[in-house]
């Protein structure tokens, strides 16, 4: 887990953010930014650049390495600081609270504004860079790809998808987006994996989720990574979240990915609730979703 930088951001001065922004600019061209070029990127003198590097390094916001030159780059905490600073300037975020969830591809915190929201920092590529490079389309056309770029593109894709889906599909309402971070509505309840449904609820909840997937398909998107870990169950229904890997329905693999989503979801219900979940033809369910005729899994019981 990357450290929460909210407390550090309050200690930073404008010139520290110039330094962090300069590194961000330089990393567009190289993973490690040459110290000799950094003053130009940051708009600071050489002396000021070195002073600010020391301040930011002491706070674990930047990393240094000697290659053929003295190179520096943003740590993920430094990238977090830039995004959080922007949200504060926009009055999107007034304070950062406790973690809401930590995964290998994101960290989520509770944040305060005019109401409580969730702040999601994307971490794609931070610990599994090769895997993300191979699986995500938004890295395909870049000669130099850093994990900061990968995380930013993941956040952009997710925010774009949430804006397209909400409110037709039950997804977290997007509030704001900057760099690799998204501010959105908090989830209404536990993940499906942690929920314990009553017998009479099982088929109804499964149908609710599949109808949301059907509506998303009608809007033009396939989730492409649907599981019990990205559906929240609340008193008023379900919310489907985590959409950075979504694909458009005209994507060459959209049908295959939809089939997999349906199979994963129905398979989970069958394993956890074997007595309540009817055996169904998942291919037929996916076909009905594509055709816009899906109503209930009971119609496809084998």
Whether 100 and 72 share a structural domain:
no
Which of 144, 168, 184 is the last residue before a domain boundary? Answer: 184
Q: Is the sign of the CA dihedral 53, 59, 62, 65 positive or negative?
A: positive
Residue 127 has what pLDDT? Answer: 55
Predicted confidence (pLDDT) per residue in 11-33, tens digit = 999 999 999 999 999 999 999 99
- Is 55 inside any structural domain? yes
Print the SS3 string covering the chain.
CCCCCHHHHCCCCHHHHHHHHHHHHHCCCCCCEECCCHHHHHCCCHHHHHHHHHHHHHCCCEEEEECCCEEEEECHHHHHHHHHHHHHHCCCCCEEEEEEEECCCEEEEEEECCCEEEEEEECCCCCCHHHHHHHCHHHCCCCCCCHHHHHHHHHHHHHHHHHHHCCCCCCCCEEEEECCEEEECCCCCCEHHHCCCCHHHHHHHHHHHHHHHHHHHHHCEECCCCCCCCEEEECCEEEECCCCCCEECCCCCHHHHHHHHHHHHHHHHHHHCCCCCCCECHHHHHHHHHHCCCCCHHHHEC
Q: Is residue 87 part of a domain?
A: no
136 and 228: one domain? no
Whether 107 and 131 map to the same domain: the answer is yes
Domain closes at, from 132, 162, 184:
184
Read off φ and ψ for residue 60, nearest 5 degrees. Answer: 60, 30
pLDDT(288) > 50: yes
User: Which one of 184, 214, 245 terminates a domain?
Assistant: 184
Residues 179, 201, single domain; the answer is no
Say if residue 102 is in the same domain as residue 154. Answer: yes
Residue 121's nearest CA partner among 161, 163, 179 is: 179
Give yes or no: residues 120 and 48 share one domain.
no
Q: How many CB atoms lie within 10 A of CB 205?
A: 19
Q: Is residue 1 part of a domain?
A: no
Asked if 225 is an active-site residue, the reply is: yes
Query: With contact defined as beta carbons under 8 Å apart, do 219 and 150 qualify?
Result: no
Percent of the chain scored above 90 by pLDDT? 87
Same domain membership, residue 71 and residue 111 = no
At 1, the pLDDT band (50, 70, 90 cuts) reads very low
Q: Does residue 119 sit in the same domain as residue 162? A: yes
Selected catalytic residue, list 16, 80, 176, 225: 225
pLDDT for 141 beyond 50 = no
Q: Is residue 133 part of a domain?
A: yes
Do residue 16 and residue 113 come from a single domain? no
More confident residue, 268 or 148: 268
Domain hosting 267: range is 192-300
| Residue 146, pLDDT above cutoff 80 | no
What pLDDT is recorded for position 82? 98
**pLDDT for position 126:** 63
210 shares a domain with 166? no
Q: Is 175 a domain residue?
A: yes
Tell whether the model's pLDDT for residue 145 goes beyond 80: no
Two tokens, residue 95: 């304070």
Give mean pLDDT, residues 108-112. 96
Percent of the chain with pLDDT over 70: 92
Mention every residue, 6+ apart, whose C-beta is less than 8 A from residue 148. 24, 27, 74, 76, 79, 180
**Tokens matching residue 197:** 């449904």
| Number of domains composing the chain | 3
User: How far apart (Å, rounded) are the C-alpha atoms in residues 282 and 134?
Assistant: 28
Are 196 and 296 members of one domain? yes
Mean pLDDT rounded to a whole number for the chain: 93
CATH code for the domain of 38 = 1.10.10.10
Phi, psi of 161 (to 5 degrees): -70, -45
């Amino acid at each position: 887990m990357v450290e929460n930088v909210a407390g550090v951001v309050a200690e930073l001065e404008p010139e520290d953010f110039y330094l962090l922004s300069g590194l961000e600019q330089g990393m567009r061209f190289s993973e490690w930014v040459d110290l000799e070029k950094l003053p130009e990127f940051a708009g600071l003198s050489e002396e000021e650049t070195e002073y600010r590097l020391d301040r930011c390094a002491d706070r674990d916001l930047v990393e240094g390495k000697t290659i053929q030159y003295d190179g520096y780059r943003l740590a993920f905490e430094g990238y977090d600081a830039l995004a959080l600073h922007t949200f504060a300037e926009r009055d999107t975020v007034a304070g950062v609270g406790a973690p809401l969830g930590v995964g290998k591809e994101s960290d989520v915190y509770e944040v305060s504004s005019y109401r409580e929201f969730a702040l999601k920092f994307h971490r794609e590529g931070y610990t599994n860079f090769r895997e993300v490079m191979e699986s995500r389309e938004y890295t395909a056309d870049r000669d130099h790809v850093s994990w900061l770029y990968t995380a930013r593109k993941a956040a952009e894709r997710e925010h774009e998808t949430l804006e397209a889906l909400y409110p037709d599909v039950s997804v977290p309402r997007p509030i704001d987006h900057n760099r690799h971070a998204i501010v959105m509505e908090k989830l209404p309840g536990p993940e499906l994996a942690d929920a314990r449904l009553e017998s009479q609820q099982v088929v109804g909840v499964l149908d609710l989720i599949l109808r949301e997937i059907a509506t998303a398909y009608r809007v033009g998107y396939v989730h492409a990574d649907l599981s019990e870990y990205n559906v929240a169950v609340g008193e008023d229904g379900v919310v489907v979240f985590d959409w950075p890997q979504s694909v458009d329905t005209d994507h060459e693999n959209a049908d295959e990915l939809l089939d997999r989503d349906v199979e994963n979801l129905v398979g989970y219900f069958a394993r956890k609730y074997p007595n309540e979940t009817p055996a169904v033809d998942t291919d037929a369910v996916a076909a009905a979703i594509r055709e816009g005729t899906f109503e209930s899994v009971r119609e496809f019981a084998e």
